[in-house]
Structure 1
Amino acid sequence: MILIGLTGNIATGKSYVAQVLHELGAHIIDADRVARDVVEPGTPTLVAIAQHFGPGVLQPNGALNRKALGQIVFSDKAKRLQLEEIMQPAIRAELTARLDAIPKNTVGVLEAIRLIEGGWHKRCTQTWVTHCPPETQIARLMQHRGLTEAEARARVTAQNPQADKLALADVAIDTSGTLEETQVQVVRAWEGLN
């Protein structure tokens, strides 16, 4: 199996690139989806988060209040690291199970914002990195997630510099242009796999 590690900072177009790869026939594993799955109501991970950060991170129905938790962890690096320590074991176990289930003789894609930081790129055949200017990231976060400029900027600056990921890229995809321009880059890189 060819395994593409797809990464890039927040709002740099990873999901769109994954969508194009899926349309080309790749099996997609979305680490963000896995991270949401491991904090479903009643899971041990969600219980641990609520115990650590307080009941204010839960909605009345017992689901995670992502906005409340985001306000806590995106403004405080120590708290963000504490959250990662709680979540990473469950995420790692679930990602491993899903990767192991990808059929052989296919192309798999692990879409993960922390692909490199988590060491997952070492398991991949190639590392693909999406990138765009920080102001584009901020505008996308404001438009698509309804964040204020300050909230969006905090999320962008909370991450490692894009240059760190780009330094390890086998394929760099500039997503600052149109969707069509991004798609052309993805198809070109896909064709280069064979």
Structure 2
Amino acid sequence: MILAGLTGAPASGKSTALACFEEMGWYVLDADRICHELYDEDPIRAVFRGRWGESVVLSDDGRLSRKAIADIVFSNPVEMEWLNSFLHPLIRARAIEKESAEAAGRPVIFDVPLLFETGWEKDCRWTLSVWCKPRLQRERLASRGWTEDELRRRSALHWDSGRKLEHANFGLINTGSRQMLFEQCRQLDKYMRKELN
């Protein structure tokens, strides 16, 4: 069983929290990373090219363009629904495989941006949500090249940060320094390990 599921809005600080848990010996599963691995597999590329044509191919080596796929699915709810129904079971199955093959007895934390939206919180003993102020989130996303329009389109697919926080067993409030977030993670690590024993 996955011990903890971690979620939060884009640019809320999930990666920073995961780095802290990893530093404390947790095995980190990352839904986005698994998705990117799947994108590199020939059968997946073939399915995508069959559905969307060569426009999803980035280069001569046949690699998929995540940007082209994002442009397609974020502008068409039918395509987004198809993509999610196709990929989510594959991501979940791959996560379970990785956990059993690689975790080696370590506690497992699964980073899933759509943890509650997909219902995957049921696979986790505890759920954690990272929250930051919306202004700070917008600043971070702007520094990554996101426009306000892109943020609105992508946010429409997520529960808002407050709702995620409300549904989580634990909240990680990322409004201060990196050290403050790390301290919250350390306290949760201590609590969860104690509960396991």
What TM-score do the two structures reach when normalised by structure 2? 0.87
Which residue of structure 2 lines up, in the alignment, with residue 170 of structure 1?
Answer: 169
Q: 1: CA distance between counterparts of 2:109 and 2:84?
A: 22
How many residues matched? 191
2:164 alignment partner AA = K
User: Which position in structure 1 is the counterpart of 2:126?
Assistant: 126
Percentage of identical aligned residues? 30
The amino acid of 1:33's aligned partner reads R
- State the shift of 1:45 in Å: 1.9
Question: Which digits, 9 at most, give the CA deviation of each residue in 1:132-175, with x for residues without a partner?
Answer: 2333223222213x223322332233322223322321110112
Partner residue in 2 for 1:109? 109
How far the C-alpha of 1:41 sits from its partner, in A, is 4.8
Q: 1:53 to 1:176 in 2, by over 3 A?
A: farther
- Once residues 139 and 64 of structure 1 are traced to their aligned partners in structure 2, the CA distance between those partners, rounded to angstroms, is 29
Kept after mapping to 2: 8 A contact 1:45/1:87: no
Map of 1:49 onto structure 2: 48
CA offset digits 1:105-141 (Å, max 9, x no partner): x311111112222222212121111112333223222
Distance 2:166 2:154 in 1: 21
Q: Report if the CA contact (8 A) 1:12-1:131 is conserved.
A: yes
| Worse-superposed segment, 50-59 or 20-29 | 50-59
CA apart distance, 1:85: 1.7
Greater mean deviation of Cα atoms: 20-29 or 164-173: 164-173
What does residue 82 of structure 1 align with?
82
Letter of the structure 2 residue corresponding to residue 103 of structure 1: A
Q: CA deviation at 1:99?
A: 2.1
Shift in Å, 1:78: 2.4
Letter in 1 for 2:26: A
Q: Aligned partners of 2:87 and 2:123: how far apart in 1? A: 20
The residue that corresponds to 1:186 in the other structure is: 185
Which runs of no fewer than 5 residues in structure 1 stay unpaired? none
**How far did 1:29 drift?**
0.9
For normalisation by structure 1, the TM-score amounts to 0.88
> Matches of 1:116 and 1:159 in 2, distance apart?
9
Letter in 2 for 1:45: I
Asked whether the equivalents of residues 165 and 171 of structure 2 are also in contact (C-alpha less than 8 Å), the reply is yes
Residue of structure 2 in register with 1:17 after alignment: 17
Look up the SS of the partner of 1:127 in the other structure: strand
The SS at the match of 1:64 is coil
8 Å contact kept, 2:131–2:161: yes
Equivalent pair of 1:130/1:172 in contact (CA under 8 Å) = yes
In the alignment, the residues of structure 1 paired with residue 39 and residue 107 of structure 2 have an alpha-carbon distance, to the nearest angstrom, of: 28
Bigger fraction of residues in helix: 2
SS in 2 for 1:116: helix
Give yes or no for contact 1:5–1:124 (8 Å, CA) kept in 2: yes
Q: Does the CA contact (< 8 Å) of 2:9 and 2:113 recur in 1?
A: yes
Amino acid of the residue matched to residue 38 of structure 2? V
Residues 71-129 of structure 1 show CA distances to partners (whole Å, capped at 9, x for unaligned) of 2212332221111122123212211111223223x311111112222222212121111
> What secondary structure, in the 3-state scheme, does the structure 1 residue paired with 2:128 have?
strand
SS at 1:38's partner residue? helix
